[in-house]
């Protein structure tokens, strides 16, 4: 695998923590932020799949039964927030026709 170099900015206390952890583990300083970035990207990809599945389920249901009531759409959105698939600001009311992502 070819590695690409990136530059990141962190507060001094985070820099100290990263350097201390890398030293403790006997690893390069760049390994820790790189692993964190890979994990974050993986989680984001899984969340995107979850949101897509939720949209697909809602579309499938609504194609056979009509639009979900506003209260049900709001409960679905709150579930996605609790599952970590949407941000907390997603708790705002959801008008009909609004995607859940």
| pLDDT, position 23 | 96
Task: Find the farthest-apart pair of alpha carbons in the chain and give their distance in angstroms, rounded.
Answer: 59
Q: What percent of the chain has pLDDT over 70?
A: 85
Question: How do residues 17-43 score in pLDDT, each as one tens digit?
Answer: 999 999 999 999 999 999 999 999 998
- The overall average pLDDT reported for the chain is 84
| pLDDT, position 91 | 44
| pLDDT, position 64 | 93
CA dihedral 56, 59, 61, 66 (to 10 degrees): 170
Closest C-alpha to 101, from 82, 81, 79, 86: 86
Q: Over range 54-71, report the average pLDDT.
A: 89
């Amino acid at each position: 695998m070819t590695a690409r170099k990136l530059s990141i900015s962190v507060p001094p206390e985070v820099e100290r923590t990263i350097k201390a952890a890398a030293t403790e583990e006997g690893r390069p300083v760049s390994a820790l932020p790189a692993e964190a970035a890979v994990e974050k990207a993986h989680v984001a990809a899984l969340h995107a799949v979850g949101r897509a599945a939720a949209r697909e389920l809602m579309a499938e249901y609504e194609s056979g039964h009509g639009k979900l009531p506003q209260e049900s759409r709001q409960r679905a959105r709150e579930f996605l927030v609790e599952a970590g698939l949407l941000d907390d600001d997603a708790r705002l009311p959801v008008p009909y026709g609004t995607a859940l992502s």
